[in-house]
Amino acid sequence: MSQKGIYYLSRHELESFVEPLREIYDITELDSEEQISKAVGIIFATTNRPISTSSIPSKNSLQAIIFIVNSNELSELEEELANNAYSFLPPSAPISIVKSQIENAMQMLRLKEAAEHSRSTLEVQTTTMKELNRIGMALSHERNIDKLLAMIVNKAMEITQSDAASLYLVEPDSSGGKQLRFKFSRNTSLPITFSEFTIPMSYTSIAGFVAETGIPLTIDDVYELPPEAPYTFNKSFDEYTGYRTKSMMVVPLLNAFNYVTGVLQLLNHKTNPNVVLDSPEATEKYVSSYPNDLVDVASSLGSQAAVAMENSQLYQDIRKLFEGFVNASVTAIEQRDPTTSGHSFRVADLTIGLAELVDQTGEKPFAGVKFSRAQLTEIRYASLLHDFGKVGVREEVLVKAKKLYPLQFELLKWRFDFYRQSIKLGYSEKKLAYLLEKGFDSYLNALPELDREAEAALAEAKHMWEFIVRSNEPTVLAEGSFEKLIEIANIRFNTIDNEVMPLLLEKEQQTLSIPKGSLNEDERKQIEQHAYHTYVFLKQIPWTEEWKDIPRIAGLHHEKLDGRGYPKGAKGSEIPIQSRMMSIADIFDALTASDRPYKRAVPTEKALDIIQTEVNANQLDPDLFRLFVASKVYQRLVK
C-alpha cells in the first residue's frame, strides 16, 4: 500500500479548521494545483478559491476531497467538483465528526487501492495467460523438433525478459541411467555458436539438480552460491567470452505424467529488455533477480514445452512408422510382380516433381493452384500406394507376360508337335502305300516329289507355329492382322484315339487375337478392379485430416477426361488434379521402364508421342502434359 496523507489548500479559513486536527494527524499544506494532482490521500478544500477541474482526478483516483462549505455555498460548486467530492462538512463540524470522516475516507482509499492492485494483478495475469495460450498454440503447431526447441527458448526469453537461455533434454546414457544433453542455446548480447554435449544428471550441476528434483530454482547471483548448495556454477564460458552471468532461473520441463523431460535455464533477468549486456558493469546495472511470479510463468511454459516436444517426437515416430508401413506395403505389392519393381517409387517421384512445378508456376491455368507441405506429402503417399489394390487381383493375371498362360502355351506347343509328327507319319504311310501299289521303280521316281510335299507341309506347320509365337507377344499399341489365326483354327487333325481335333482352339484363337497388351476382356476387367480395390483398402486406414484424400487421389489415377477410364468413369473436373498428374507419371513409367517379359522398354520420345496420342483423344490433361514435357520432369528418373 502507498503512503497516504492529509492535505489542505492554503486558505486562512482552513487554517483555523485544521488546527485542532494537527494534534491528531500530520497535515500538509498544498499551494499549487500540481501539488494537488500528485497528492495521495485526503484533501480539505473550500469554494472561495475553487480547485480547477483539471487538477482533480476522478473518483477512481486515490484522493478523497472533503469540501468545508456552508449550506448556502453548495450551489456554487462546479458540477464536476461536486460529483468528485467525497463529502461536505460545515466549518463548525465537531472534531469527532471530522475525525470520523477522515477515518472513513482513509478506509475507502485503502479499499480502492486494494481493488486497483487486484485489477492490475488480474490484468497482468490475464495478459500473461493469453500470452501463454498463444505460445502454447504456436508450440503445438510446430512439428520440426529443431524449430520447436528454438521457439521454446525464444518465447521463454521474451516472456521472462532474459538475456540468455539454454535448453537441456533428458536422455538415456550408456549405462542404463540418464544424462542431460545440451541441445540449444541463445544469447542476445553475445553472438555464440554452440555444440551439443552431455553432462551427468546429478545434483552437482544446477541443471542436473533441477532435473533430478523437478523443482524450479532461482538464484540471485550464481557467483555467490550459498555454501550448503550441492551444485556449482561453471564459469568457463564467462571467463572465455567476458560475459557476466548473474541471475538465473531454472525450471524443469514436466510432461503430462509429471516426468522431467528436460531443463530450461534462463539467465540475467533484465530491467530493460532492449539493453545489451556487453560488460560486467552493464550486467550490474541492468540485471535483477527473477521475481517469484515469473517462476510460475516459466514453469507453465516449461510444461507446455515438454508436452509439445513429446507430441513432436510422437508425430515424428508416427511419421517414421507410417513411412515404414507405406514402404513395406509397396514392397509387398511389387514382390507379387517383381518385374515392376520400383514402379510405385518412380511414379511418386514423377508426380511430386510435376506437383512442385504446378505449385511454383504463376501461369494459367495453374496460377491459383498451391500445394502445402502436407498436401505434397499426401500426393506422395497416394502415388506410392496407387497400386495397393493389386493385392486383390489374381497373381496369374497380375503377372501375365504373354497372351496365353504358360500352361496354355505348352499344351498348344504339344498339339503342334503332335501335328508335325502326324504330317510325317501321314507321308510315311503315303510313301508305303505308293510303294505297294506302284512298285519299287515307280516309288523311286515319285519319292522326290513326295519328300517335297512333306517338307512343304512341315514348313507350313513351322510358319504357322512361328506366327502363333509372334501373336502370343503383347503389343504396346493395337496392331497386327490375325486372319491367319482363323485359317489355323480351321485345320483339323486326328488324335491317337482317331478323334478329330482343331489345331487351334476357339478360346486360344480369341486370346491370340488380342490387339493390344496381353489381357483378354475378362482379365482386363480384373486388372482394372485394382483401382477400386485401392480405394476400398486405403479407405479402411484412419487417415489424419491432412491426408484424408489419399484414398480418392490414389483410386482415380486410371480415370480419363472423356469418362472412358476406370473404375468410376469419372470425367473432367470430377478427377482431382493430383490424380491427373499421377496418370501421366504412371503411364510414362509403365512405357519407359526397363524391359519386362511382356514388353520392351519404349524410348522416351516414343513414350511421349504415345501419351500425346491420349492427350489428343481427350483422355489426359493437356496442360499438365505440356508442363511435364516442357520442364522435362521425366529426367528425374535419370540417375
**Pair (79, 30) in one structural domain:** yes
Question: Which CATH number do you get for residue 293?
Answer: 3.30.450.40
- The domain boundary, picked from 490, 517, 544, lies at 517
Q: Is residue 608 part of a domain?
A: yes
- What beta strand segments (E) does 272-344 contain? 287-288
Within a 10 A sphere around the Cβ of 241, how many other Cβ atoms? 13
Q: Is residue 124 part of a domain?
A: no
**Pair (502, 530) in one structural domain:** no
476 is in which domain, residue-wise? 406-517
Alpha carbon 426 to chain centroid, angstroms? 77
Q: Are 349 and 586 in contact (CB under 8 A)?
A: no
Structure-block grid coordinates of residue 561: 477426361
Cα 156 to Cα 211, 243, 427, 573, distances in angstroms: 18, 20, 102, 49
Cis peptide before 567 (omega within 30 of 0): yes
Q: Are 572 and 566 in contact (CB under 8 A)?
A: no
**Pair (297, 154) in one structural domain:** yes
Q: Is residue 477 part of a domain?
A: yes
**Pair (450, 573) in one structural domain:** no
Looking at residue 576, its pLDDT comes to: 95
Question: Which CATH number do you get for residue 44?
Answer: 3.40.50.2300
The pLDDT averaged over each successive group of 10 residues in the chain (639 residues) is 74 79 88 77 75 54 82 64 78 90 89 78 61 60 71 84 92 90 91 86 94 94 94 92 94 86 93 92 94 83 74 77 85 76 90 93 85 92 91 81 90 92 88 86 86 91 92 74 86 85 91 85 86 92 89 95 92 94 94 69 91 95 94 78
Q: Is residue 462 part of a domain?
A: yes
What is the C-alpha separation between 608 and 628, in angstroms, rounded?
Answer: 10
Q: In the beta sheet, which residues pair with residue 494? A: 500
Q: Is residue 326 part of a domain?
A: no
**What DSSP assignment string belongs to 402-422?**
SSS-HHHHHHHHHHHHHHHHH
Q: Are 62 and 109 in contact (CB under 8 A)?
A: yes
**Pair (467, 575) in one structural domain:** no
Q: Is 99 exposed, middle or buried (0-12, 13-18, 19+ CB in 10 A)?
A: middle
Type of residue numbered 328: A
Phi, psi angle pair for 93, to nearest 5°: -60, 135
β-pair type (248-254, 217-219): antiparallel
**Pair (505, 533) in one structural domain:** no
**What DSSP assignment string belongs to 194-261?**
---EEEE-STTBHHHHHHHH---EEES-GGG--TT-S-B---HHHHHH------EEEEEEE-TTS-EE
- The domain boundary, picked from 487, 517, 547, lies at 517
Type of residue numbered 383: S
Type of residue numbered 203: Y
**Pair (362, 437) in one structural domain:** no
**Pair (149, 280) in one structural domain:** yes
**Pair (387, 434) in one structural domain:** no
What is the C-alpha separation between 577 and 354, in angstroms, rounded?
Answer: 11
Within a 10 A sphere around the Cβ of 610, how many other Cβ atoms? 16
Q: Is residue 137 part of a domain?
A: no
Q: Are 380 and 352 in contact (CB under 8 A)?
A: yes
**Pair (435, 460) in one structural domain:** yes
**Pair (538, 392) in one structural domain:** yes
Q: What angle (nearest 5°) sits at the alpha carbon of residue 313, between those of residues 310 and 316?
A: 150
Phi, psi angle pair for 166, to nearest 5°: -140, 150
Within a 10 A sphere around the Cβ of 469, how many other Cβ atoms? 14
Q: How many domains does the chain have?
A: 4
Looking at residue 115, its pLDDT comes to: 78
Q: Is 421 exposed, middle or buried (0-12, 13-18, 19+ CB in 10 A)?
A: exposed
Within a 10 A sphere around the Cβ of 462, how many other Cβ atoms? 12
Looking at residue 620, its pLDDT comes to: 95
Q: Is residue 594 part of a domain?
A: yes
Question: Which CATH number do you get for residue 532?
Answer: 1.10.3210.10
Looking at residue 1, its pLDDT comes to: 43
Give pTM, 2 decimals: 0.60
Helix or strand run (H / E) with residue 83:
helix 79-84
Q: Is residue 536 part of a domain?
A: yes
**Pair (484, 570) in one structural domain:** no
- The domain boundary, picked from 476, 495, 517, lies at 517
